[in-house]
Structure formats: C-alpha cells, structure tokens
Amino acid sequence: MKIIDKLNQKGIHISFEVFPPKTEAGFDKVLSATDEIAKLNPSYISVTYGAGGGTSKNTAKIASHIKDDLGVMSLAHLTCASSTREEVGEVIENLKAHGIENILALRGDIPEGMTFPDGDRFHYAYELVQEIKKHGDFCIGAACYPEGHVEQEHKEDDIRYLKQKVDSGVDFLTTQMFFDNDIHYNFLYRIREAGITVPVLPGIMPITSAAQMKRSQELSGTVFPRRFLAILDRFGSSPEAMKQAGIAYATDQIIDLLANGVNNIHIYSMNKPEIAVAIMNNLSEIIKC
C-alpha cells in the first residue's frame, strides 16, 4: 500500500521515524527498537538514509523488515548529494527489488570537503524526484521547512523551489521539526496560496535533553519559543524530569494540531520506543475521536 492512499483516508494517522545504526554492531538494537515502535500500530515507519549515505544498505533492510515481518508500511529515505547518479539509480532499483513502494526524496547534507555540485550528481531534490519516477510507480515524499530552508535567504524563494519539487511528482510533504505551532499554520497558509495542495505532515521532535536541543538547533536553525526555553531552564539539569517535560511538550503540540484539523502527524522518535509509547499513551483516547 502507498502512503498517500493511507493519508487520504479518514481518521488520524500517526507515523514514526527510525534511523539505521552507524555500525553493523548496532543493527540488532535498532531492529529491536523498531519492533517495539511497530507494536503501536503506526500508519507507517520511515527509515533514514544516514549521514552521507553511509548506512544506505541498512535502510533497505530495515524498511523491508518493517513491511514484510512487522506488517507496517515503510518509507525509505533516499538522499542524493553524497552519491553519483549511477549509485542513486542502483539504490532505487534495490528498493524496488525489496518491494518498497514509498520513498522520501532528499538532497541531503553535502559531505564535508566535497566540491558540490559536480556534473555526476543531482543538484536538487526535484531532480531526484524526477529520477525516482523513471524507475517505477513509487509514492514519493519530500521535505519542507516551515521556518525556511537554512540555505535560502528569502522564504518566497524557498516556497517557489518547494512548488517546483512538488510539481515534479511529490505526493506528500513532511516538515522539518518546529516547536511553535503558529509557525506551521502560517506556513500552511503560504504554501496553499502558492498552489501546493499535497498533504503536509508536521514533523514533531520530542526534545528530552539539553544536548538534543543544541544538536537540533545546529542542524535545522529552528527557533525555540520562550515557553520551551523556560522548560529547559527549569528541568534541563534533571534528565528524567526533562524527558517527561519534553514528552509532555510534544504531546501538547500534537493535541493542538489535531484540534485544528491536522490529522496526519509524523514523530521523530529517534529510535526510542519508550518515548513513542509515552506519547501514544497520552493520546490514547484523543486519537479515537
């Protein structure tokens, strides 16, 4: 089944994200975490590609395990900045051979020290979307940035490039993490005005430690509202208290989104099934409405 078909169905759809291990030694641990998350009956589980594409082989293995062994739809991430066009084509064909129908098309981070772009690589995500479509009937997702992409100076340009990406064949979008829902609502208004009509899943990141917040800010440049900074200031020195507060904050974001008619939500669970379980327990009656 394709993710777009699920998203177009009535009801609330919650999905989670896992990432492959950096080394083969960690594979079983990641698989165990994935199995626990699958028990929550998510609409789908996405599997990241890894920094620089270094864990790409495990992406297909884990996505296949989710689909074939756990009976949950899977979404395989695919980045193109770190790979040649030929290598990207090989990865797409490998996903196809594994029966993976859903791909999240991303440019990805430019590897350190690489001259980019060069003639043998895709320069933009929309080119990757076009390439995926040449290889078969995939459901294609892509990323979007409610606060604007860090490499774009003007939000108008960011939305124009997003429209180009969607028009190339994107079926749905997933946002970068954000911590102020008003930013998401404003973003939705602006992209709908620009003619982007595909489903948009807000990406919710439960921040459960001060170190995680710092990494998130460095990677995405996201803005943390005063309300969240007060939580960090009060509970950041107590790991268990901060974990509980971070789960509560993420839950509150999701409840507000659901109350405002946003029924498709993606949670960056960071291979932590206990966090996914806690959030779903907090939503146990809400998602029945």
Strand partners, 201: 174
Residues labelled catalytic: 17
Q: What share of the chain is helix, strand, coil (3-state, %, to 5)?
A: 50, 15, 40
Cα separation, 173 vs 171, in Å, equals 7
